[in-house]
Structure 1
Amino acid sequence: MELTTAQRYEGFVLISKNWIEENRSTGFLFEHEKTGARLFYLSNDDENKVFSITFKTPPADSTGLPHILEHSVLCGSRKYPVKEPFVELMKSSMNTFLNAMTFPDKTMYPVASMNERDFMNLMDVYLDAVFYPRIYDSPEIFYQEGWHYHLEELEDPIAYNGVVYNEMKGAFSNPEDVLGRRIQEILFPETAYGNESGGDPEVIPKLTYEDFLQFHKTYYHPSNSYIYLYGNGDVLKHLAYLNEAYLKDFEPIEDAGDIGIQPPFEKPIKVMKTYPIGEGEEAKDKTYLSMSFVTHRCTDGEKHLALDMLTHILSDAPSSPINKALLETGICKDVEGHYDGSILQPVVSILAKNANEGDEVLFEKTIRDTLESLVREGLDKDMVQGAINYTEFKLREADHGSYPKGLIYNMEIMESWLHGEDPSIHLEFQGYLDRIKAEADNGYFEELIQTHLLDNPHVATVVLLPEKGLSAKKDEEVALELEKLKNSLSQEALEQMQKDTLHLLEVQNTPDSQEDIDKMPVLPITDIRRTIEPIPMEVEEADGVQWIHHPIATNGINYIRLYFDVDHIPVEDLGYLSLLTHYIGEAGTHAYDYVKLNHAIEMHTGGIDLDIDIFGDAKALDVFRPKLVVKARVLEEKTTRLFELLKEMLLRTRMDEKQRLKEVLQSTKSKAEMDFMTVGHKIVSGRVMSYLSNTSKYAEQIGGLDFFRFISRLDANFEESWENIFENMERVATSVFDAGRLRISHTGSREGLSLVEKEMKDFLPLLGNKPAQNADLTFALAPKNEGIATPGKVLYVGKAYNIAALGHKYDASLQVVKTIMSTDYLWNKVRVQGGAYGAFFSVGRTGSLFMGSYRDPNLKNTLDVFDRAGEYLKNFKADRSTMDKYIIGTMSGLDTPMTPNMKGAFATGNLFRNVDDALLQKERLAILECSVEDVVGAAEIVEDAMKQNHFCVLGDEQKIKKEKDLFGEIIQVFEE
């Protein structure tokens, strides 16, 4: 049916419609007649449908009200009164995305699914959640998700607890997050952007339940909503549902109004702030410097894209002019540029890491001098063209990793729509690109630099200084504050606080009634395919090399992966092997200096990356195949240029550039250091598994704590050892890039494949071809039970063992156990009751079983929860419909849509893992046929694994030291 503007459809008026060539969609902009609710429908042939409802939610303070409410509305509603509808959907839907997100100015509730019935179910649960949450009659939701005074025994000290409170303690433990928060607070003192929408842990306990409810009444209304639909759904059907099921029942109110514009500063300002480091940590080289510029309005599509490109040009790589200039001063070890275009007044920021107090003067001068020089002399034309080509490649490829395309478009739409402008402004990028291309050689970017950076007074330099003892000091302040509170309370008041705490625990421990559970919509298990969908793959030998081709439509892009076996590299060289993957591409070659190399990569390809992947054998315990992987993407017509660059990078990288080596080392160390604060759960998982298997110990040598220590030693002794580092890297490179150890994976058209084959005929003879014996990659394994202490204020707790080593056989039905453990037992015990932000259970084909927590306030209590997991499984009971839910939730993870590049990588990886379609089909059926008996049978497996008592904990040094008797060793990770 053809829809006509100004006509009424199912309670909505069609305001406008337009064809958006860039994503092959028709955009329909509607307005709900009764409430004024805005709706944008991006209609196309994508079966991965997306729905979201977004509310403008400007925070008035830093209590984290928008964030706490985001968590809380998903804890039960009018139609779905179970305590955790969100978790029920994780168990029982085939969602391809399910989450909620708090931004500085809005709160978004997106879902996605490829199944129409499932999609409608997801929409209904989310709409009921946001409009009719249980928060009004269940204050326990606020106390659980936000904060509460926790007192289980009268003699205990009072503590703060709450999921968001602990999540933000974790976020505020990361110096880069602290810096980002301070930048926004300083740049926007008079608008909502000056407040922390996620919540400052020092301020969160000031939030009252009454203010919490009032915020929902004020902002969670159709008149303040932005509804988005994407994909191949039925437009009129979805409009009718939205109107009849929800919108028609509301009366219009005034919307939230404008966010407000921060008046520009009269002149740039400088502010000093602090962040905590460990008691034994050296403060030298731990200062963070930033210079941030408030630019234009995010509603200007061309400027938005151009400033994003400019930030990329100036500071997105070590070869970028700002990065290069700052690194050459020696004042810092790593530099990053950021463009935040998600807020009304976008910000360009330059960050220098691992600097020192006093360096800010040279930092500012270097940036301004560099910018003035670029305006005066002009930007390098190859650099500009490379940035344009790189941006266009990424925009056209539309590969957004784990996020559905439709959700990425949704986020782009909100950058203009939230502020009253056309939602398609940022989707229709071709016109902007054409103008930028046409004017790039006429001073376009130089004018941007002059106007938005050099002549701009709305600038803040923020210096974030390390402070020893700050963390303990803040802990002491909180403890004294709570002790003072306790001393001021009467016995009756303390007993009431205890009663409230125990009541909250009782509510959390009380299961939902079967009647309420049955109200949740469930996708019939008959909607789940019983057979796998094989990924096309052709394997053949040519010129002594194995070719793996995936004939998949890629819109004219060649996806190429060169896999070099590295199982001949001895243990003592693994650190150098890993360093090599960081160095190649960041250093010069015989034909290019590293600046020109970066420009050439961006001009002619979609990116070239090196990594080390480890492929465990699905049919043999602790057999693994490590490979150095060169990953490249390129338009078919530029395949020749790609191979010219690959020859330079792999065979002619200079091994004598001392300064570049030093900069790469320092940058690699800086990024690895930050991982301890941002992805602590991954560090813990890798570390505890390294006690148990050669595979995981190998992974530690090339990327975990062991690798961090390795590069830290190289950095500390650089002047004495740099020549030796080059000698070792060159020896390793010569050994690795060998035709006899190469396998080639290609995803794309046959025409694209023929182009790759032609180039490889010239490339292969340039590689060595010397046989080499496999190295002895066995390690001395032993349980260590380490505490890895950092200045962070939360913990990451992990416990693991390999079940195959205990004589247990892996069965795919254990993936259903993973769903049960993650969405029931661990969710309830570690997140809901314990206050951690997350908890995980994983088990793999090779037998590795792991339980972990994320941003957790607890240590011993969480380990106890892990130890009781077997008991929970022994007593597990479920009827057929409940089991079907867990199975559907498990299948959702298996059937996630993949891009062509992801499909090629997945299928090639399975080939290396000894996983064929027959095994995948067998595993699929094992999951679909999983029974209660299978789950109960897993109890012994889990119990046996936990009894081995192999664990690792990372984070809050005070809590780790308090439980020092638990650990075999406590590592002060940042101490020199």
Structure 2
Amino acid sequence: MQQLMQASNGLSLGKSSFQGHNPSWRFRSTPATERVLQYQAGQKIHGFTVKEVVAVPDLFLTAVKLTHDNTGAQYLHAARDDKNNLFSVQLRTTPMDNTGVPHILEHTVLCGSEKYPCRDPFFKMLNRSLSTFMNAFTASDFTMYPFSTQNGKDFQNLLSVYLDAVFFPCLGELDFRQEGWRLENENPSDPTSPLVFKGVVFNEMKGAFSDNEQVYAQYLQNKLYPDHTYGVVSGGEPLAIPDLSWEQLKHFHATHYHPSNARFFTYGDMPLEQHLKQIHEEALSKFERTEPDTAVPNQPHWDRPREDHVTCSPDAMAPDASKQNTLCMSYLITDTFEGFTLSLLSSLMISGPNAPFYKALIEPKIGTDFSSVVGTKEASFSIGLQGMAEEDIEKVKQIIIQTFDEIIANGFEEERIEALLHKIEIQMKHQSTSFGLSLASYIASCWNHDGDPVQLLKISDRVTQFRQALKDNPRFLQEKVVHYFKDNTHRLTLSMSPDEAYLEKQVKAEEEKLQKNIQALSESDKKDIYEKGLELLSIQSKTQDASCLPALKVSDIEPTIAVTRVETGTAGGVPVQYCEQPTNGMVYFRAMCSLNSLPEDLRLYVPLFCSVITKMGCGGLDYRQQDQQMELKTGGMSISTSVNPDYSNMDMYEQGVLLSSSCLERNLPDMFHLWSDIFNSPHFDDEERLRVLVMMSAQELANGISNSGHMYAMTRAARNLTPTGELQETFGGMEQVRGGRTVVKSDHEPNFKPCQMKTFFPMPFPINFVSECIRTVPFTHEDCASLNILARMMTAKYLHGEIREKGGAYGGGARMGGGLFTFYSYRDPNTVQTLSAFRKGVDWAISGQFTQQDINEAKLSVFSAVDSPVAPSDKGMGRFLSGITDELKQAHRERLFAVTDKSIVDVAGRYLGIGQRTCGVAILGPENDTIKKDPSWVVK
């Protein structure tokens, strides 16, 4: 440990303030949990009847189950001493075709309702609230609408908007056309321009289906459960989306969005009675009970296994171009299975280098990583491999079957089972900032099919039952493997291979679908399309009156930040920061090691070093033993790159690798001993192990682009603007993904010169990710606050309308941070049009076409991020990594409050105006001849 600390620049320790000093500490009642413990089964509260009140000490909460008397709506409240209160309502949505009706409905209900008829109240509330989370999700068989906030008034405001949106939406035709799909002239103002498909969900799903992993997972589910709702694509198959009519959308809402088909969940320290009163009065009291026909029947069990095949786009970023095949065996678990046991069994078979399937499939270097898993009403288990050669497919099938046989014969080591149960103990004690949202997601699937959500929360009971089952029958797990895998005839073997013509076929299929739709049109239909296009464009271009929506005021924001107490000192000559927090007996440790002396030509390899160093073995332990000890003694140990711009100087930064780990307090010496061995005696002599890890790392990077393309575009656009931006591109941008094929050598510190650069990465996607970055000022500069407010205001009041509503991209906007003002778009059908929207957004700001209300809303939005909850494990980390103290944060806070219309116009002109800015541009997207012919673009 002494040598570890001497090798470090700094350490940060977080520790329990009371639980950790008392090993016998147990669940104690808090005001939030005490209040609900007084409820009795059968008690009536605001139209609801209490069914059950259960203390759940594992999770430091008390659960209250209720039913709404009139409608039968189910309700679960989790009272917990947590200020980040959450609401969600979920509805069982069971589509029977591929049109994406539940997904398009999820978008459309958020476009205006009876009480709040303004366009897009959902996005407008992002700027009228201090919410810590707002979103909506479409799963295979349910749709969920959650939000969270720490402010009581805000909770009531958001609840009112959400209830009205879900149960009383306008569902206007133009909203359906904007969010779902429409035929429209390419240029809506020109009736002679060609007709094309447009729509936010249409483009979103084109983007989703450009991700080979998602294509595979979707097909796997559809083919394993072919006979009901899981046999279709709930999000929408892009070419089936244009088969959905507005009338079908409204009908789906009428049959599925009823309180009798709803499950309400609230969480946190706010009083339950207020929630019940508002939900009853504003929504449920206006309905009578129905019997919704949304139950999902069990999938009929096959009497023999099946095989299937799917093709995908070749992956230009694949680590090995000759190994792009995927194979998976999936088993449907039709019996009533203990989900907890299946989860443990799955981890024992797959997770980590000691798992049988890891040894059998990953280490022989047949492929690069495990393939996708799916989850639905009935449990399933999937095991397979991606990144493999076609000639290895039959071999992999045999290996999977043989590995099941070996598990049945040999079982699992007791120490591996203990390591897994230790992991569960850690997960229960760890305090996250989004605990309520995690709970809502955790219980959603079980509750959706009338399971008991409270039983799911009793994790200790499940661990006890599991231990007892093993004690009673040492072959308990092996017998499960025989029953659920070896003897299971409902098995799907699905392979996937790349097709060079895949994208070409997709483009052709879309063109054929388009022409078929166009040929069915009369001249009056075309005229109608043109007029509706103009009408939609006119509505999108109008400034909306959002005065009907509730809003917090800037005066509702706390004027000062809560101070985080930290102690500083030294150990072995190394500065140490210590932060005492209520962590339920957990200790969190970080250490920063400088990279200042690392030679330039080695920088590209730092992320790879970070990903393998804790997985190679150390000291007297080989990599399997090391993994076992980390699982038994810690909550995880990892090393990552860290690049932190200086808060006052754009050309200064700190670079290093960050060590992160956690453990129960009793295991602190073991954790530090492991770190000491990793530092002082890592094993780098096992070339085979290193090759496996390198291939897995490369596959993970390649898989991430289609979902996070906007992040890669932003990182690339920033590359030539600051030394930090250049290093971040090397560590985590396209430079890293490409594995250093084109290492650009440059001198980092004193000689860095910002310069313009426009880069285009042709990718096998049908949509684009676009970003433009502009060098501005650091965190402590007086103009930083005005640029922050400008970014939020421009996103909400200008860019959202241009890029998403008019342009059809899934998302887009501007953000300020790290000395850079960054524009971006996500899953975007456009490129040049979006870059033009960025520039017009600047013109809009310079011309001062905004109101004081717009500024106030932007401030609310900025403060919702500034004041978002910080987990006990992360308290003091801003100071540790960046040197940003509470005093600096408070000074920035006061500058945010002081931002005016004049300061916004001023910074827009001085930093973002043409001729004033040093900018970088990056696009990831399909082949684009216009860009390729433009000499100002660098094409990679």
TM-score by length of 1: 0.88
SS in structure 2 of the partner of residue 329 of structure 1: coil
8 A contact 2:317–2:738 mirrored in 1: no
Q: Structure 1 residue 12: deviation in Å?
A: 1.2
For residues 836-855 of structure 1, the C-alpha deviation after alignment (integer angstroms, 9 at most, x for no partner) is: 111131222x4211101001
Q: Deviations over 1:590-648 (max 9, x none)?
A: 41221221111111100001101111101112211011111010111101111221122
Where do 1:345-424 residues align within 5 Å? 345-399=378-432, 404-424=434-454
Q: Which residue of 1 aligns with 2:501?
A: 469
What amino acid sits opposite 1:789 in the alignment?
Answer: P
Equivalent of 1:426 in 449, 456, 462 = 456
Query: For residue 749 of structure 1, what is the aligned residue in structure 2?
Result: none
Contact 2:315 2:324 in 1 (8 A): no
Q: What RMSD, in angstroms, separates the aligned Cα atoms of the two structures?
A: 2.3
For the residues of structure 2 that align with 1:602 and 1:968, how far apart are their CA atoms?
Answer: 52
The aligned counterpart of 2:18 is none
Q: Within the alignment, does 1:916 sit opposite 2:888 as a pair?
A: no
Alpha-carbon separation, structure 2, partners of 1:933 and 1:170 = 40
* Cα distance change on mapping 1:279 and 1:53 into 2, 3 Å: closer
Q: Among 19, 37, 45, which residue is 2:81 paired with?
A: 45
1:675 is aligned to 704
The 8 Å contact of residues 562 and 630 in structure 1, kept in 2 or not, is answered as: yes
1:48-93 alpha-carbon deviations (Å, 9 max, x no partner): 1111111110111111111111111111111111111111210010
Q: Distance in 1 between matches of 2:470 and 2:317?
A: 51
Cα distance, 1:497 vs structure 2: 1.6
Distance in 2, matches of 1:778 and 1:587, equals: 38
Maintained 8 Å contact 1:669/1:712? no
Q: Does 1:6 align with 2:37?
A: no
C-alpha distance in structure 2 between counterparts of 1:437 and 1:777, whole Å: 61
Query: Bigger shift: 72-81 or 258-267?
Result: 258-267
- Within 5 Å, give how 1:260-271 maps onto structure 2: 260-271=297-308
Q: Could you tell me which residue of structure 2 aligns to residue 305 of structure 1?
A: 340
Residues in 1 aligned to 2:339 and 2:742: alpha-carbon distance in whole angstroms? 43
In structure 2, which of residues 853, 856, 862 is the aligned counterpart of residue 884 of structure 1? Answer: 856
Q: Which amino acid aligns with 1:149?
A: L
924, 933, 936: which is aligned to 1:965?
A: 933
Q: Give me the whole-angstrom Cα distance separating, in 2, the residues matched to 1:626 and 1:429.
A: 41
| Counterpart residue number, 1:550 | 579
In structure 2, give the amino acid aligned to 1:409. Answer: L
Q: Secondary structure at the match of 1:95?
A: coil
Which residue does the alignment assign to 1:140?
174
**Which deviates the most, 64-73 or 321-330?**
321-330
Offset, 1:554: 1.1
Separation of aligned partners in 1, 2:431 and 2:394? 41
Matched, 1:167 2:208: no
Q: Secondary structure at the match of 1:383?
A: helix
- Paired with 1:886 and 1:707, the residues of 2 have a C-alpha distance of 35
Q: Distance in 2 between matches of 1:663 and 1:777?
A: 39
Alignment pair present for 1:588 and 2:617: yes
What residue is the counterpart of 2:183 in the other structure? 149
Structure 2 counterpart of 1:456 = 488
Structure 2: segments with no counterpart, 5+ residues: 1-34
- What pairs with 1:476-625 in structure 2 (closer than 5 Å)? 476-487=508-519, 489-513=521-545, 517-625=546-654
Instruction: List per-residue Cα deviations over 1:417-455 (Å, max 9, x = no partner).
Output: 221232212111111112223444723332332222222
> Residue 691 and residue 292 in structure 1: after superposition, are their counterparts in 2 closer, same or farther (change >3 A)?
same
Distance 1:100 1:250 in 2: 23
The one-letter amino acid paired with 1:189 is: P
How far is the alpha carbon of 1:861 from its aligned partner?
0.5
On the 8 A contact 1:569/1:775 being kept in 2, the answer is no
**Secondary structure at 1:292's aligned position in 2?**
strand
Deviation per CA, 1:278-315: give whole Å up to 9, x if none. 79998521112222222257x85xx2122222222222
Provide the C-alpha distance between the structure 2 equivalents of 1:781 and 1:881, rounded to a whole number of angstroms: 36
Secondary structure of 1:313's match?
A: helix
Q: In structure 2, what is the equivalent of residue 26 of structure 1?
A: 62
Cα distance 1:678–1:319, how it changes in 2: closer, same or farther (>3 A)?
farther
**C-alpha offsets along residues 677-708 of structure 1, whole Å, 9 cap, x if unaligned?**
22111111111111222211112222222223
Secondary structure of 2:207's aligned partner: helix
CA distance in structure 1 between the partners assigned to 2:99 and 2:516 by the alignment: 22
AA partner of residue 831 (structure 1): R
Distance 1:247 1:290 in 2: 45
Q: Go from structure 1 to structure 2 and tell me whether the alpha carbon gap of 1:710 and 1:946 turns closer, same or farther (over 3 Å shift).
A: farther
Q: Take 1:88 and 1:647, find their aligned partners in 2: how far apart are those partners?
A: 51
Q: Between the two proteins, what is the percent identity of the paired residues?
A: 27
Whole-angstrom CA distance in 2 between matches of 1:86 and 1:945: 37
1:863 lines up with 2:897 in the alignment: no
Query: 1:649 is aligned with what amino acid?
Result: I
Q: What does residue 814 of structure 1 align with?
A: 787
Q: 1:550–1:904: 8 Å Cα contact kept in structure 2? A: yes
Counterpart of 1:669 in structure 2: which amino acid?
A
- Asked if the contact 1:279–1:469 (Cα under 8 Å) also holds between the matched residues in 2, the reply is no
Corresponding position: 1:326 with 2:295: no
- What is the CA-CA distance between 1:498 and the residue it aligns to? 1.5
Matching of residue 841 in structure 1 with residue 810 in structure 2: no
Name which of 107, 126, 134 aligns with 2:143: 107
Amino acid at match of 2:263: Y
Matched AA of 1:421: G
Inter-partner Cα distance in structure 2 for 1:12 and 1:950:
57
| Offset of residue 186 of structure 1 | 0.4
Q: Is the 8 A contact 2:256 2:294 kept in 1?
A: no
1:829 equivalent in structure 2: 802
Corresponding residue SS for 2:792: helix
Query: Among 277, 285, 288, which residue is 2:326 paired with?
Result: 288
Which structure has more relative contact order (CA 8 Å, sep 6+)? It is 2
Do the aligned partners of 2:316 and 2:763 also contact (CA within 8 Å) in 1? no
- 2-structure distance, mates of 1:778, 1:487: 61
For the residue of structure 1 that corresponds to 2:370, the secondary structure is strand
State the Cα distance separating 1:171 from its structure 2 match.
Answer: 0.6
Tell me, in whole angstroms, the C-alpha distance in 1 between the residues paired with 2:782 and 2:99.
49
Residue 455 of structure 2 aligns to a residue whose secondary structure is coil
Deviations 1:369-409 (A, max 9, x none): 1121122012122222212211221133243x6xx211211
Name the CA distance, whole Å, in 2 between partners of 1:313 and 1:57.
Answer: 33
Aligned mates of 1:920, 1:664 — CA distance in 2 = 40
Letter in structure 2 aligned against 1:142: F
Contact between 1:309 and 1:391, CA under 8 Å: does it hold in 2? no
Which 5+ residue runs of structure 1 have no aligned equivalent? Answer: 715-773
Deviations 1:705-747 (CA, angstroms, capped at 9, x unpaired): 2223336799xxxxxxxxxxxxxxxxxxxxxxxxxxxxxxxxx
Question: How far is the alpha carbon of 1:809 from its aligned partner?
Answer: 6.5
Local SS of the residue matching 2:584: coil
Task: Report the alpha carbon displacement of residue 476 of structure 1 after superposing the two structures with TM.
Answer: 2.2
Are the equivalent residues in 1 in contact too, given 2:878–2:885 (CA < 8 A)? no
Shift of 1:319: 4.3
Cα distance between partner residues in 1 of 2:782 and 2:52:
59
User: In structure 2, how many angstroms separate the alpha carbons of the residues matched to 1:104 and 1:192?
Assistant: 8
Letter matched to residue 421 of structure 2: I
1 CA distance for matches of 2:102 and 2:381?
25
Aligned pair partner of 2:226 in 178, 183, 189: 189
State the match for 2:844 in structure 1: 872
Count of aligned pairs between the two proteins: 893
CA contact (8 A) 1:413 1:425 kept: no
Q: CA deviation at 1:197?
A: 0.9
**Aligned position for 1:720:** none
Could you tell me how far apart the structure 1 residues matched to 2:314 and 2:192 are? 32
2:277 corresponds to which residue? Answer: 240
Matched residue, 2:19: none
Give 1:360 deviation, angstroms.
2.1
- Indicate how the Cα distance of structure 1 residues 886 and 59 shifts in structure 2: closer, same or farther if over 3 A, else same: same
Q: 1:596 to 1:337 in 2, by over 3 A?
A: farther
Residue 84 (structure 1) aligned to one of 120, 135, 147: 120
Amino acid at match of 1:325: A
Going from structure 1 to structure 2, the CA distance change for 1:658 and 1:541 (only over 3 Å counts) comes to: same
